[in-house]
């Protein structure tokens, strides 16, 4: 019997907001806001880029670290928003940018709308394109990518893969790949849900495998964020 206590939002690193300061507004209508506050614990890698700050209920901010006093946890963060975030006096929860905020909400929200469904594969349309920069994928240089789109326009509709032949000119002509959309990815563990297999699908076409549904969604357990 599994008696492990589920991980909750209260187990995440916390940022206690003391105040919010308004900065300049861009031509696109976004205002730079500074959040003054304190982290309750050391957050590894927080100074390497942006990250999520989760608020209740089911909302988030995309934040950057401006300054941090590691001993006290006092910090200055910034975020660009069209409206001022009403978070002064609140406690926000840190989430690594490896995840999306909806990964947390899809586990916690009892009304998310999961439905046990058998995945059925479908045809896809493939089209190559040449990227402006070279990427390294599995140790090889990739500049030609294949965009794959499902033909039924249901759920998530496109994926990108390195083209098989990186030396030949990209095939810019759309072509049908019978059964080319033959699997979905579990949102929480990235495992395949292959055609004919059962999983859980939400109203926006996101999938989790049965194992992750039982392991995380049913007990409202957020420990998947520790299992990168």
Supply the CATH number for residue 34's domain.
2.40.10
Whether residues 123 and 87 share a domain: the answer is no
CA atoms within 13 A on the CB side of 188: 26
Whether residues 132 and 218 share a domain: the answer is yes
User: According to the per-residue pLDDT averaged within each range, which of 2-6, 136-140, 184-188 is highest?
Assistant: 184-188
Give domain status of residue 4, yes or no: no
Determine contact, residues 61/84, Cβ cutoff 8 Å.
no
Mean of the per-residue pLDDT values of the chain? 92
CA distances for 15 relative to 3, 26, 48, 62, angstroms: 29, 26, 17, 13
| Section 167-180 average pLDDT | 89
Structural domains of the chain, count: 2
**pLDDT computed for residue 57 by the predictor:** 80
Query: How many residues appear in the chain?
Result: 228
| Section 141-150 average pLDDT | 90
3-state secondary structure of 190: coil
CA 71 to chain centre: 30
Over 50: is that where the pLDDT of 147 sits? Answer: yes
Whether residues 90 and 124 share a domain: the answer is no
152 is in which domain, residue-wise? 115-226
Give domain status of residue 110, yes or no: no
Whether residues 19 and 72 share a domain: the answer is yes
pLDDT band at 141 (very low <50, low <70, confident <90, very high): very high
**pLDDT computed for residue 154 by the predictor:** 67
Whether residues 121 and 221 share a domain: the answer is yes
Give domain status of residue 104, yes or no: no
CA-based torsion, 181, 186, 190, 195: positive or negative: negative
Give domain status of residue 107, yes or no: no
Give domain status of residue 166, yes or no: yes
Give domain status of residue 173, yes or no: yes
Give domain status of residue 176, yes or no: yes
Give domain status of residue 191, yes or no: yes
pLDDT tens per residue, range 34-76: 999 999 998 988 877 899 999 978 899 999 999 999 899 999 9
Over 50: is that where the pLDDT of 1 sits? Answer: no
Whether residues 216 and 120 share a domain: the answer is yes
Residue of 227, 192, 226, 223 lying closest to 210 (CA atoms): 192
């Amino acid at each position: 019997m599994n008696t492990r206590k589920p991980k909750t939002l209260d187990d995440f690193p916390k940022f206690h907001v003391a105040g919010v300061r308004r900065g300049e507004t861009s031509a696109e209508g976004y205002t730079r806001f500074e959040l003054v506050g304190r982290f309750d614990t050391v957050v590894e890698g927080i100074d390497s880029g942006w990250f999520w700050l989760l608020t209740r209920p089911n909302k988030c901010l995309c934040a950057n670290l401006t300054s941090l006093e590691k001993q006290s946890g006092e910090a200055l963060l910034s975020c660009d928003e069209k409206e001022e975030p009403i978070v002064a006096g609140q406690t926000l929860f840190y989430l690594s940018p490896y995840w999306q905020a909806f990964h947390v909400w899809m586990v916690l929200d009892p009304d998310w709308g999961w439905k046990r469904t058998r995945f059925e594969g479908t045809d896809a349309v493939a089209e190559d394109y040449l990227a402006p920069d070279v990427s390294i994928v599995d140790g090889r240089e990739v500049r030609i990518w294949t965009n794959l789109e499902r033909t039924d326009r249901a759920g998530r509709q496109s994926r990108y893969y390195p083209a098989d032949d990186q030396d030949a000119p990209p095939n810019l002509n759309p072509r049908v790949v019978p059964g080319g959309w033959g699997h979905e990815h579990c949102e929480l563990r990235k495992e395949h849900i292959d055609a004919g297999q059962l999983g859980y699908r939400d109203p926006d076409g996101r999938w989790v495998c049965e194992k992750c549904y039982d392991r995380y969604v049913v007990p409202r357990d957020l420990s998947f964020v520790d299992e990168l």
